[in-house]
Amino acid sequence: MTSAKPNLLSGMQPSAGSLHLGNYLGALVNWANMQDDFNAYYCIVDLHAITVPQEPAELRANTRRTAAQYLAAGIDHNKSALFVQSHVPAHAQLAWVLNCITGMGEAGRMTQFKDKTQKGGSESASVGLFTYPILQAADILLYQPKAVPVGEDQRQHLELTRDLATRFNSRFGDTFVIPEAVILKETAKIYDLQNPEAKMSKSAADPKGLVNIMDDTSVVVKKIKSAVTDTDGEIRFDRDAKPGISNLLGIHSAISGESIASLEARFAGAGYGALKGEVADVVVAAIEPIRNRTEELLSDVAELDRLLADGAAKANAQAEQTLAAVYDRVGFIAAR
Ligand code: TRP
């Protein structure tokens, strides 16, 4: 890849069979837009996935489905490296080195581990889940990225990554670029259609609250038409008093680019049915081509795997270089 542009890395879990509209508008559109300004590396984190139990066949299927959806939604394999984490051995190798410069107390302060083990308790959690943030730091630092676009919930993991990079650099000499978190902006925050006070999430209580990229068109239309609203009959943006209508306006605006003010003016005096109809049209027009392209990619697994091998080759080239420097600095003798 050309070296004139700064590097960028982000990662996504291969956990869901389908991305939802919140993933798409919250992260993916931003990732696609950043490809022109950065050498972007996008990593499907299957090593992270097994920190909790996985069904092997399901993990394999979800890894390919995730890859296909990212490619279909605009990650261009000619511009960026889209790759699977386990295809690049340096992730696990650097994670080991970083494990050895991370304090137990430091790792124990990670709130995501505490959240994820709240129900079952930390006794039954895997050691892998405990060291998850350190593997994430390795994901990042291998690629010497300036920017790491992530959601707000990843802020603490990015701070740990910066701390580890700084510590390594001061102990062993300058090796890592200190990465900046790019916290994706709130404007495209998408809420649950049935519970519009909550963010759209795959763990939604009611599947009707969630629009999936892979949903059939008729299902998408039905979900939007049965979105929870209110009874005052006015179409205006007011997140506190009118979360349902505000969410519909927000979804429309995020996709169409039309301002909320313009939508409010255009829908003044109209019924909620008219707004829902137009939002459904806008959403369908955006996701139908992505679904179709995803299905096309999944219908030719050999070609999809070839694209991923291509991504892994680009990723390996950068990752091996960083790992070699790290191994040398810590005092490992070079293998001949
Ligand atoms: N932990 C991230 C999440 O749950 C996924 C992830 C793994 C990641 N490695 C990363 C994100 C590296 C950014 C950079 O969303």
pLDDT in tens, 210-261: 999 999 999 999 999 999 999 999 999 999 999 999 999 999 999 999 999 9
Find the catalytic residue in 5, 79, 146, 202. 202
Return the pLDDT at 302.
98
Which has more pLDDT, 159 or 3?
159
Mutate to test the pocket of ligand 1, among 19, 44, 45, 113 (most ligand atoms within 8 A of CB): 45
Structure tokens, 271: 């019924």
In angstroms, the Cα distances linking 285 to 201, 228, 292, 331 are: 22, 22, 12, 56
Reference 89, options 306, 325, 315, 311; nearest CA is 315
335 confidence band (pLDDT: 50, 70, 90): confident
Return the pLDDT at 186.
52
Ligand 1-lining residues (CB < 6 angstroms): 9-11, 13, 45, 48, 136, 139-140, 148, 150, 154
In angstroms, the Cα distances linking 69 to 37, 74, 314 are: 22, 9, 20
Find the catalytic residue in 116, 146, 208, 225. 116
Q: Write the CB contacts of 69 (distance below 8 Å, at least 6 apart in sequence).
A: 18, 19, 213, 214, 290, 294
Give the percent of the chain with pLDDT over 70: 98
Average pLDDT over residues 267-283: 97
Return the pLDDT at 205.
86
Return the pLDDT at 194.
97
Return the pLDDT at 120.
81
Return the pLDDT at 1.
53
Average pLDDT over residues 297-312: 98
Q: Which atom of ligand 1 is nearest to the CA of 45?
A: 7
Residue 118 CA, ligand 1 centroid: distance in Å: 20
Q: Which protein residue's CA is at the shortest distance from atom 12 of ligand 1? A: 11
202 confidence band (pLDDT: 50, 70, 90): confident
- Positive or negative, the CA dihedral 77, 306, 45, 298 is positive
Q: Which protein residue's CA is at the shortest distance from atom 15 of ligand 1? A: 12
Residue 86 has pLDDT above 60, yes or no: yes
pLDDT digits (tens, 9 = 90+) for 314-330: 999 999 999 999 999 99
Residue 183: strand, helix, or coil: strand
Rounded Cα gap, residues 321 and 306, in angstroms:
23
199 included as an active-site residue: yes
Residue 265 CA, ligand 1 centroid: distance in Å: 40
Return the pLDDT at 282.
98
Task: 148-151: list long-range contacts, CB under 8 Å, 24+ apart.
Answer: 148/8, 148/9, 148/10, 148/179, 148/180, 148/181, 148/182, 149/8, 149/10, 149/27, 149/30, 149/31, 149/34, 149/182, 149/184, 150/10, 150/181, 150/182, 150/183, 150/184, 151/26, 151/27, 151/183, 151/184
Average pLDDT over residues 159-168: 98
Residue 16 has pLDDT above 90, yes or no: no
Q: Which protein residue's CA is at the shortest distance from atom 11 of ligand 1? A: 11
Return the pLDDT at 188.
62
Place of tokens 């313009």: 262
Return the pLDDT at 26.
82
Return the pLDDT at 277.
98
Q: What are the DSSP E strand ranges found in the chain?
A: 7-12, 39-44, 81-84, 147-150, 180-183
Structure tokens, 198: 């909550």
Return the pLDDT at 123.
86
Q: What is the dihedral of CA 115, 116, 117, 119, to 10 degrees?
A: 90
Mean pLDDT of the chain: 95
Rounded Cα gap, residues 266 and 290, in angstroms:
28
Residue 187 has pLDDT above 60, yes or no: no
Residues in the chain: 336
Return the pLDDT at 4.
85
Structure tokens, 104: 């137990």
Structure tokens, 162: 């910066």
116 included as an active-site residue: yes
Estimate the crossing angle of helix 301-330 against helix 90-99, to 10 degrees.
Answer: 40
Q: What are the DSSP E strand ranges found in 35-139?
A: 39-44, 81-84
Return the pLDDT at 203.
84
Rounded Cα gap, residues 180 and 161, in angstroms:
10
pLDDT digits (tens, 9 = 90+) for 29-72: 899 999 999 999 999 999 999 999 999 999 999 999 999 999 99
